[in-house]
A = this chain, B = another copy of it.
Amino acid sequence: MRMHVRTTISLPTILAELRLDAQSQTPLYQQLYAAIRDLILRGVLPAGVRLPTNRALASQLGLARVTVASAYAQLRDEGYLVSRQGAGTFVAEELVTKGLPAIAPFHPRFSFWGQRLLTLDPSDEEALLTTPRPEIDFGFGRSFYHIFPYDVWRRLLARYLSADDAMLSRYGSVAGFYPLRAAVAGYLERLRGVQTTAEQVVIVSGIQQALDILSRLLLNRGDGVLVETPGYSGAIDIFRLYGAHIQPLPVDDHGLPVERIPPATTARLAFVTPSNQFPRGGAMPLARRLALLQWAQAQGAVILEDDYDGELRYSGHPLTALQGLDRDGRVVYLGAFSKVLFPALRLSYVVLPEPLLDPFLHTKRLIDRGAPTLTQAAVADFITEGHFERHLRRLRQEYGERRAALTAALDAHLAGRVRYSAEAAGLHVMLYLQNGLSETAVVERAARLGVRVYPGAPYHLQHPAPPSILLGFSGLTVSEIEAGIQRLGMAVRGE
């Protein structure tokens, strides 16, 4: 479409050189329109020049007259051409084309927020997706999706898909489809010990959306945020982008050591994973939970409880949520369906104390009207008809077997060389390397043996970080896990 035209040649010659493509998906009149527009914008056809008549140009280019007439009409509609009664069609006089085109691409100035973003390490996640897959990948967050009852899910989706045009076409409530909020509230009360009404439950596109909204509502630049280290970088990155002063506290085998929070802390927000510390593992005992709530009362702080995989415990009962102990509404509870149903669902939920509910919804209404009603209706039925809890039981059994296989293999091949949390929970295990082993060396040696494991350094805010390796097991079979750990053992021993 773009042409190279000598500017010294005559107008009929210029137009005769136009090359239109009759095979293109773009109609001929639009190709002609775009070509003439381009000539005008580049100054090749200067202001005031008279164009050939429809008839003349049509015969010159071998086009139908209606094609030329349509192109001229659009150019007139848009102000490139003017017609003067009896005199013909002219390039408009008023066009200000000098200064266009610019040569150098424009570089916008970024805000302080944007500048902080540019200093973050870009996630290498997309890069990983494009590199060749290793034989055995201990990636974290891969759901073992063959377990998911797709037949049930399809039936539930089809129920709404066929029944109801309105279900397809309506905007949902910004807080989420009410039956889903009620189903989530019921589930959380029953199985997670959360105290909530359906009204306090807001459906979000992901934990990240909830963190983003809460951060902007609660954080000014320079405000302190208490976080665990190692910790969840997805949250810490967001707090950083809002200019928060991150105050990391190293966790032990029982989560955040509340008694070691420095008395001088200025934190107004604490982000914690009490059910299963991410990524180290380990649950916060009751005494610490109560102490954390007391600390927050004294501090005037809000607590964000990320219960990202609280359902997934493989021995004993799932521990109930910190939120259930909260007596004055300072705990915000965050939960997700991505791990326990499937990632592409893109549905999470947040349970908000009353004073945060309206500001949260008002913010959400401004930036995102909510998830498709169809999906929400299907998930609501998935919960209320008992499929969800049945699926959870299945997940606990399958993931529990995988975790048991993983720890058995670790004990067989890496005894004495690594430490990890004894809590049988979650979808990954964090290995702390003993005896001065190097994390990078282990990752690289394992890769050469066809096994991808993940460095722990990005999760640690301590410098230097204790050498560690993250192993996700939810996307692997038992025999893959066993083979992978055997090879990891070889990598660690330098074989």
Residues of A at the B interface (CB closer than 8 Å) are 25-26, 30, 34, 41, 70, 73-74, 77-80, 92, 94-97, 99-114, 117-118, 120, 122-123, 125-126, 143, 145-146, 148, 150, 153-154, 157-158, 161-162, 165, 167-174, 186, 189-190, 193, 205-206, 208-209, 211-212, 216-220, 223, 234, 237-238, 241, 268, 285-287, 290-291, 293-294, 297, 300, 302, 316-317, 319-320, 325, 327-330, 342-346, 353-356, 358-359, 362-363, 365-375
Contact = CB atoms under 8 A, between A and B. Distances in A.
The complex is assembled from copies of this chain, and their number is: 2
B368 A209 contact: yes
Nearest to A235: B366
B205 A100 contact: no
A208 B218 CA distance: 21
Given A362-B122, A368-B205, A106 B346 contact: no
Contact of A101 (B125, B162, B328): B328
B79 A172 contact: no
Contacts of A241: 366
A238 B368 CA distance: 12
A430 to B, nearest CB: 22
B287 A92 contact: yes
Given A126-B174, A345-B372, A346-B369, A217 B114 contact: yes
A108 B299 CA distance: 11
A154 B162 contact: yes
Contacts of A173: 126
B290 A113 contact: no
B100 A327 contact: yes
B169 A220 contact: no
The 7 closest A-B pairs by CB, nearest first: A79-B286, A101-B327, A102-B328, A145-B169, A114-B217, A169-B342, A79-B285
Contacts of A120: 362
Contact of A371 (B165, B346, B369): B346
Nearest to A288: B79
Contacts of A112: 220
A93 to B, nearest CB: 10
A313 B325 CA distance: 58
Contact of A106 (B92, B205, B330): B330
Nearest to A254: B79
B369 A372 contact: no
Contact of A157 (B92, B94, B161, B300): B161
Contact of A358 (B79, B103, B122, B167): B122
A99 B297 contact: yes
A381 B375 CA distance: 20
B367 A209 contact: yes
Given A41-B325, A117-B363, A169-B143, A205 B205 contact: yes
